[in-house]
Structure 1
Amino acid sequence: MASAITLLFVYGTLKRGGRNYPRIADQEFVAEVATAARYRVVDLGPYPGLIRDAVNGLAVHGELFAVDARGLAELDEFEDVPNLFVRDLVEIPGYESVWAYYTNVPAPAGARTGDRWPLAGGSGRDS
């Protein structure tokens, strides 16, 4: 029986070329995509987090992967779900039922935000 496949949006260190890409490299890359303009990437220091922003949201740029059940379980563990991150639906125009990891901890006061990682102007240097 085939394993269930989940569409997963990644926007930080799991992207191709990012330092944690090897954790998702065995899964199927689907496309470079952008979310609906309802989100932001927030700088959490060595990595980003995704947050919802219904008022001033941006179209966050990232990548879409088709992930099998084993890969998703491993990524959930790596992302420390449900402590550090939570996995929930994200709106990607042209796709249905896409999931992403949202930060589940408060962003540091004055944390920078943007539409892609690494953020423009420094910090988040490891893509």
Structure 2
Amino acid sequence: MTSHSPYLFIYGTLLDSGNRFGAFLQANSKLIGAGSFSGRLYDIGHYPGAFFDETCGLKVHGQIVELPDPDKVLSYLDPYEGIGPENEEPYEYTREVISIETENGLLNCWVYLYNHPVNGYRQILSGKYV
């Protein structure tokens, strides 16, 4: 698997152009379409957390965007996702490249995956955060 990609898979608050990070992403990306990956999705409170898990039989659903300048966009989004020197380790999320299922096959995309325990949080069995 590659560790670089011009694509980002989003499944939570980054889909909302009503917050400044979602608006920034919308202004600095091109919508490619829907996608999903094998995993589990949880409601962490005011936002979701996803885990990649090929064995669970569930999917996390979201959208894929293309980033004309991935370094610029991801460096802006990382602090929002709790990643970086201003945050305590272990970071709340990790950013990884995984294979996302699309109607045209697999596409390697960056995705923010939750990195803390989920005890006490509600699992979203539909895999869709609304």
Global fold match (TM > 0.5): yes
Return the alpha-carbon distance in structure 2 between the equivalents of residues 15 and 110 of structure 1: 21
Over 3 Å counting, the alpha-carbon distance change for 1:18 and 1:117 in structure 2 is farther
- The 5 A counterparts of 1:5-84 are 6-17=6-17, 19=19, 20-36=21-37, 38-67=38-67, 68=69, 69-81=71-83, 83-84=91-92
Asked if the contact 1:44/1:108 (under 8 Å) is kept, the reply is: no
Over 3 Å counting, the alpha-carbon distance change for 1:116 and 1:18 in structure 2 is farther
Q: Greater helix percent: which structure?
A: 2
Identity of aligned residues (%): 27
TM superposition score normalised by structure 1: 0.76
Deviation at 1:56, TM superposition (A): 2.1
Residues 95-104 or 43-52, more deviating: 95-104
Match of 2:128 among 113, 116, 126: 116
Deviation at 1:111, TM superposition (A): 2.2
Deviation at 1:32, TM superposition (A): 2.6
Deviation at 1:108, TM superposition (A): 3.1
Q: CA RMSD in A?
A: 2.2
Q: How many residues align?
A: 114
Deviation at 1:45, TM superposition (A): 0.6
Deviations 1:36-67 (A, max 9, x none): 3x212211010001112222232322111122
- Structure 1 residue aligned with 2:88: none
TM superposition score normalised by structure 2: 0.74
Runs of 5+ unmatched residues, structure 2: 85-90
